[in-house]
Amino acid sequence: MAVPKDAVWERDPHTAAKHDLLKQYLEAWAPILLSRHDVITYAEGFAGAGVYKQGEPGSPVVAYEVFARALHRSPKRVRLVLMEEDPRRVEELQRQMALAQSRNREDIAARLSIDIEQGDFHPALLRKLQRTGRLGKPLFVLLDSFGGPDIPYSLLHELGRYRSTEVMVTFEPAFLTRFAERHDGHRQLGDEAFGSQEWQHVFRQPSSHKFTFLREQYRATLRQAGFTHTLYFEMVDEGGRKLYLIFGTQHERGLEKMKDAMWKVDPSYGIRYRDPRDTEQQMLDLVFEPDTAPLRRILHDFISEAPKGRTVPELQRYTLLETVYRPAQVITAVRQLRESGAVTTEPRAINTKTRVSAAATSPSAGPSAEQGALW
C-alpha cells in the first residue's frame, strides 16, 4: 500500500488484523490493570483519522470501545492521549471520538478522557506524558506510523525506563534494505531508530535474511531500551509488502496476553497475517489447525537436556519465554509426546504437578523446528 494522501483512506485487510490484535490485547490488558490501579493510560503517536473509507473504526476508536466496555465493570478511569500530525485527520479524529463518546453512557464517557493534540509526535508525546505524570504508571503506547523508521531510539529508551510501560511499534524493513546503503540521510534515520549502527550489518546479509535480520535487530533495540520481553507479528499486504508489529513489555503476564492475542488473530502459526490477495499466500498450504509440531520438538529437546526431566510449570515458562507458543499449549503437546512414546510422565495425569522425562529411546518428536528458529 502506498502512503495515503487523503485524510481518510481505505482500510487494508492487514490493518483490520492489526486492529483485531490491538483489541484482543487491550481486552486482556485493561481489566488486569484496572483491578490494581485507579488510572491507566493509552497513548498513540500516529493516531490517524479514527475512521476508514467504509466507516470502519481506526485504532483510537477500537481502543476507546474496549476501554468503555471495561469501565462498565470497573469504577476506575482511563486516559487516551492521541497525537496526529495531519490537521485534516485531527479534525476527523475529533469527530470520531466525539461520536464514540456519544455512543456510551455519560458516566462511562466521564471516566474515559480523551486528549487529542495536533503535531509531530516527538518529543510532544513524551513531554505530555511526563507533564501529566503518566510515566511510571500503567501505560500502553502504540507507535503506528506507516512503517518508518521514524521512532527515535531516545523515545523508546525514555519509555523503557518505566516497568509499567508497554509499547507496540510498526516497523517496515524494506525502506532500510532498499535505500539506506547508498544514502547517508536514510542511514542516519536507521541509526536514530536503532540507537546504534549495528543494524548496518544488514547490508552484508544475503537477500533472503535481510528482513529477518532487521526484525531481530529491532527487537534487540527494544530490549536495549528496557523492554525485556519482545514479540513480533508479521503482516504482509496485498502487494507482498512486509510490516512488523513489534511489542515490548517488562512483564511476563503482558507477554503471555499478547501471545494469546496473536494466536487468536493467527490460529495456525501465532505470528503472522497475510493478505489473502497476496499471490504468495495462494501458494502456501492453508493450515487450519495450530501447527504445534515445532513446539513438541522444542519441548522434547528441553526435556532431554535434564536428566531428571522437567515439571509442567518449567515447560510452560520455557514455552512463554523462549518460543512463539503459549503456555496453554504445553499440556496437549506433552500428551502428544507421550502418545508417540517420546516422553513419560509421573504421575500419569498431566497437570502442574507432573514431571515429564525423556523416554529411554525416543522416536523423533516431529518435523524440524523451523518455527522455533523464527525467534
Ligand X SMILES: C[S@@+](CC[C@H](N)C(=O)[O-])C[C@H]1O[C@@H](n2cnc3c(N)ncnc32)[C@H](O)[C@@H]1O
Q: Which residues bind ligand X (CB under 6 A)?
A: 44-48, 58-59, 83-86, 89, 120-121, 144-146
Tell me whether residue 40 or residue 141 sits nearer to ligand X (CB atom): 141
Tell me whether residue 48 or residue 294 sits nearer to ligand X (CB atom): 48
CB-neighbour burial class of residue 133 (10 A; exposed 0-12, middle 13-18, buried 19+): exposed
CB-neighbour burial class of residue 69 (10 A; exposed 0-12, middle 13-18, buried 19+): middle
β-bridge mates for residue 244, sequence order: 171, 234
Least separation in angstroms between CB 128 and ligand X:
13
Least separation in angstroms between CB 89 and ligand X:
5
Least separation in angstroms between CB 299 and ligand X:
36
Indicate the SS3 state at residue 229: strand
CA 295, CA 370: separation in Å to the nearest integer? 10
Tell me whether residue 168 or residue 299 sits nearer to ligand X (CB atom): 168
Least separation in angstroms between CB 21 and ligand X:
11
Tell me whether residue 142 or residue 334 sits nearer to ligand X (CB atom): 142
Tell me whether residue 190 or residue 309 sits nearer to ligand X (CB atom): 190
Tell me whether residue 144 or residue 166 sits nearer to ligand X (CB atom): 144
Least separation in angstroms between CB 216 and ligand X:
23
Least separation in angstroms between CB 293 and ligand X:
34
Best CA proximity match to 49, nearest among 10, 94, 14: 94
What torsion, rounded to 10 degrees, do the Cα atoms 311, 317, 322, 323 define? 90
DSSP codes of every residue in 55-83: SPBPHHHHHHHHHHHHHHS-S-EEEEEEE
Q: Which amino acid makes up residue 274?
A: R
Tell me whether residue 42 or residue 227 sits nearer to ligand X (CB atom): 42
Least separation in angstroms between CB 155 and ligand X:
11
Residue 226 zone, left/alpha/beta (φ > 0; ψ -120 to 50; rest): left
Q: At what angle do helices 184-194 and 207-224 cross, to 10 degrees?
A: 40
Tell me whether residue 58 or residue 195 sits nearer to ligand X (CB atom): 58
CA 186, CA 191: separation in Å to the nearest integer? 9
Least separation in angstroms between CB 27 and ligand X:
17
Enumerate residues 6+ apart whose C-beta is below 8 A from 306. none
